[in-house]
Amino acid sequence: MAGHDVEVVVTGLDRPHAHIHRLSEARCAYQVVADNLDAEQRGFDAVVVGHFQDGGVHELRAALDIPVVGLGEAALHHAMMLGEAFGLVTINPGFLSFHRDQVHRYRLGARFAGVRAMDTDPDVYFAAFNGDAEADRSVRTQFGDRARELVDAGADVIIPAGGLPALVLQEGEPVDLDGATVLDPIGVALGQAELWARLRIRPGRRGPYARPSREVLDDFVSPWD
Looking at the DSSP bridge assignments, the partners of residue 160 are 89
CATH topology classification for 83-182 = Rossmann fold (3.40.50)
Residue 132, by phi and psi: left (phi above 0), alpha (psi -120 to 50) or beta? beta
pTM: 0.88
Task: List the domain boundaries for the chain.
Answer: 22-71+187-221, 83-182
Burial of 68 (0-12, 13-18, 19+ CB in 10 A): buried
**pLDDT at site 21:** 80
Cα angle: 19, vertex 23, 28; to 5 degrees: 75
**Per-residue pLDDT of the chain in tens (225 residues, 90 and over written 9):** 666 777 888 787 766 666 778 888 888 888 899 889 999 999 999 999 999 999 999 999 999 999 999 999 999 999 999 999 999 999 999 999 999 999 999 999 999 999 999 999 989 999 999 999 999 999 999 999 999 999 999 999 999 999 999 999 988 788 888 899 999 999 999 999 999 999 998 899 988 999 988 888 888 877 655
Cα angle: 6, vertex 7, 10; to 5 degrees: 135
